[in-house]
Amino acid sequence: MPITARSFGELQTGPVAAFLIEDGEGLAAEVIEYGATLTRLVVPDRKGGGADIVLGFDRLEGYLSTRTYFGATAGRYANRIADARFSLDGASYQLGRNEGRNHLHGGFAGFDKMLWKGEADAARNSVRLLHRSPDGHEGYPGTVEAAVEYRLPGRGRLTIEMTAITDRPTVLNMVNHSYFNLAGHASGDVLRQLAMLDADHYTPVDRELIPTGEIAPVAGTPFDFTSAKAIGRDLGAVEPRSGYDHNWVLRGSGMRLCARAADPLSGLGLELWTTEPGVQFYIGGQLDGSEVGKGGTAYGRHAGFTLETQKFPDAPNRPNFPSSVLRPGESYRHLMEFRFTA
């Protein structure tokens, strides 16, 4: 299928292009160069129509002003780092404190706020976006050459592949931050939708959503999604403020099942496979209706859920967590595959 490009606005640093990828079977994804962001994802339903299932904005201005990270590629280190600092090879690094005293999603000017360079590849039915993050940006060591590829390979699948190299030892955790609503982005909350996470453990957090360092079993807790259940079923027993906004420890290693989700009314479902050790399941508990998105939709509390496959939050400070260190000569590769069903 041909990949079409259009203007999505302009920054002081240059124009922002949007690319539309289609698979010829009803699945379509639009990505923009700003933040290497997934702005639309239309999935065919059992009635022969299609629903856009990701939250987002119609115009660039929405992405410039939001603090939600809708659809963005978050980094250099996505999720949280306690006290916005870490040590590596005997050196200490101070990062931007953009969430209280802590560091979140790469800081004040993370990957989500960068203008990436998009390249369409019709042969692969994909768009590849490139970004060079200089040494010292937001306090991180090393120059990182990063890439994100969005691809529709057919049979109802979307793959997102994040790769990078560095010229100095650094830490890296690139994450896709799409919010999903399987009834359609404008359909209200997701609390009745079903979710399963292929994880027997999770990492508890403190009041600032920083991991305590414990790896705890989910059995007998509201965090048990080993069998599919309504997202909101046990929400009343979850703290802190936003409900589910935690990292689950995925079973196994390599490319394997991470999660399943489904909307009982529309019948639309997804299955997610990943190479990463964890997944941040967040259900939009901090959305409050002030974000007015596509088609004038006000996104209220629990309007979407994320499945951010990742290294663990605060891993640079937790020797018992899987390593997030990237060294010269090594290649970072983070692969996600979404498989949609109706």
In 10 A of CB 61, how many CB atoms? 10
Q: Which residues contact 212 (CB under 8 A, 6 or more apart)?
A: 203, 204, 205, 206
Q: Tokens for 230, please give them.
A: 């309504």
Q: How far apart are CA 302 and CA 124, in angstroms?
A: 35
In 10 A of CB 58, how many CB atoms? 15
- Cα–Cα distances in angstroms (integers) from residue 72 to residues 40, 54, 99, 112, 165, in the given order: 12, 11, 18, 5, 20
Q: How far apart are CA 126 and CA 149, in angstroms?
A: 7
Q: For the CA atoms of 284, 290, 295, 297, what is the dihedral angle to 10 degrees?
A: 60
**164 SS3 class:** strand
Q: Would you please indicate which residues are annotated as catalytic (active-site) residues?
A: 177, 308
Q: Are 248 and 219 in contact (CB under 8 A)?
A: no
Q: How buried is residue 191: exposed, middle or buried, by Cβ count under 10 Å (0-12/13-18/19+)?
A: middle
Q: Which residues contact 319 (CB under 8 A, 6 or more apart)?
A: none
20: phi then psi, degrees, rounded to nearest 5: -105, 120
Q: How far apart are CA 301 and CA 110, in angstroms?
A: 25
Query: What is the number of alpha carbons within 13 Å of residue 256 lying toward its C-beta?
Result: 13
